[in-house]
Amino acid sequence: MSDRMHCNASKTYKPIQRHISTSMVRFIHSNDWQLGMAPYFLDADAQARFAKSRFDAIRRIGQLAEFKDASFVVVAGDVFESNQLDPRTVARALEAMRSVPVPICLLPGNHDPLDPASVYHSKAFGDGKPGKVMVLSSTTPLEVVEGCEIVGVPWSSKRPLVDLVHAACKDLSEKSGVVRIVVGHGVVDVNSPDKANPALICLEHAESFLRENRVHYIALGDHHSVLSVGDSGRIWYAGTPEPTDFGEQKPGYVLLVDVDGSGCKVEEIPIAEWRFVAKHFDFAGDDDLVLLESFLDENPKKEETVLRLSFKGTVSLESRVRLDEILDRYRNLYATIQVREGGDELVTLPSDTDLERLNVTGWARVTLDNLRAMASLPQADQTAQDALTLMYRLARGRKE
């Protein structure tokens, strides 16, 4: 068992209303696998590794289910990146699911809705689907293990016109001796700035279903970070098991859930291999280049790190060339290194030492002086700075 699969946080909640005689159910809640995702900012080699990592995450979830004695896995929507996928992607995904030793319940979400062109209707999915994999294709309660019902809330289009969770639960009644888990997808109204969206999940309604013991846990997808919603402790987003972009607050987890009619315990367990890291540097001298190089060198998992850098300050031509050389060297090691456009406030100005090293005359000197003047303006011309840097590199290379 990987040492990454440990309890990062554990929360236990008291009964919602009254004790209902049910057996405790343990399962894994995940969402937004987005299998087949190929971020545009990665080259072909990194895209292939990124895609494979998402299949590997399924296998780690299977190992976790076995290690923690979970009865099943639910994936709350966006299992696949889209309904238009290469059959090989679907086949590899299902092969990874085959290694999971417990049932897996897949919910169609907004990326992979259950429409006529759905990936779940494809030949590749039908041919490769293991028997333990169940698509939650309707809201009819499904007994996945004895004493536990799953109520799936699938998307049949990319833009539902109603609160699908409310529609699926409003006619449910309390069922003695049964733990009932709702698996839904979408945005909860209290977290959305778009209050006019008809598909928002109403938190007040969802919590009323829990208070009345019609359902005992609501597993949600769409949000890419771990998030508990409301006050009940029984409405959660698990987040994507591998991060997908910058700005995700807490991706890379799955939830291990223990639930019965009397209480609920949720463990947040990290399983991600990839990281998205943003880092800012203020340059005041050459020592800052040493700090940058140390930062780039210290990361032990460079191939699985997407790095976004931003810079501020003023550097000489020599320092700028060194900076570019450092970045070029480490770009060969990282999944990708981006220098944030619009956030880079690094100004390149030649020092007297730079000019001595250049030692140019004639039209080259006139060009150099013009570029230097343009680069010195309050609103420095980036093209002029880039031209100065290139000129310096060419001149230095000619002498070397």
Q: Which of 185, 143, 190, 135 is nearest to 164 (CA)?
A: 185
Backbone angles phi, psi at 218, to 5 degrees: -120, 110
pLDDT at position 199:
95
Q: Give the pTM.
A: 0.84
pLDDT at position 347:
75
Query: What is the mean predicted confidence (pLDDT) over 99-113?
Result: 97
pLDDT at position 262:
79
Q: Which domains does the chain have, with CATH numbers?
A: 9-270 (3.60.21.10), 275-399 (no CATH)
Sequential DSSP letters for 133-166: EEE--SSS-EEEETTEEEEE---SSSS-SS-HHH
Q: Give the pLDDT confidence of 161-187 residue by residue, as tens digits.
A: 999 999 999 999 988 889 999 999 999
Q: Give the pLDDT confidence of 252-297 residue by residue, as tens digits.
A: 999 999 999 878 999 999 999 999 999 999 987 778 899 999 999 9
Q: Is the pLDDT of residue 220 over 90?
A: yes
pLDDT at position 388:
66
> Which is more confidently placed, 50 or 340?
50
In which band, very low, low, confident or very high, does the pLDDT at 317 lie, cut at 50, 70 and 90? Answer: confident
Q: Give the pLDDT confidence of 63-82 residue by residue, as tens digits.
A: 999 999 999 999 999 999 99
pLDDT at position 2:
46
Contacts of 68 (CB under 8 A, 6+ apart): 26, 28, 256
Q: Give the pLDDT confidence of 338-397 residue by residue, as tens digits.
A: 997 654 577 777 666 666 666 666 666 667 667 666 665 555 556 766 666 666 666 655
When mean pLDDT is compared across 3-17, 93-107, 130-144, 366-380, the lowest value belongs to 3-17
Q: Is the pLDDT of residue 15 over 60?
A: no
pLDDT at position 265:
96
What is the rounded distance in angstroms from the CA atom of residue 93 to the CA atom of residue 21? 38
What is the rounded distance in angstroms from the CA atom of residue 99 to the CA atom of residue 384? 57
Contacts of 295 (CB under 8 A, 6+ apart): 279
Query: What is the mean predicted confidence (pLDDT) over 312-321?
Result: 83
What is the rounded distance in angstroms from the CA atom of residue 172 to the CA atom of residue 163? 15
**Residues in a beta bridge with 313:** 283, 346
> Which is more confidently placed, 231 or 315?
231
Question: Residue 174: what residue type?
Answer: E
Q: Is the pLDDT of residue 12 over 60?
A: no
What is the rounded distance in angstroms from the CA atom of residue 67 to the CA atom of residue 13? 23
Q: Give the pLDDT confidence of 190-217 residue by residue, as tens digits.
A: 999 998 899 999 999 999 999 999 999 9
pLDDT at position 7:
40
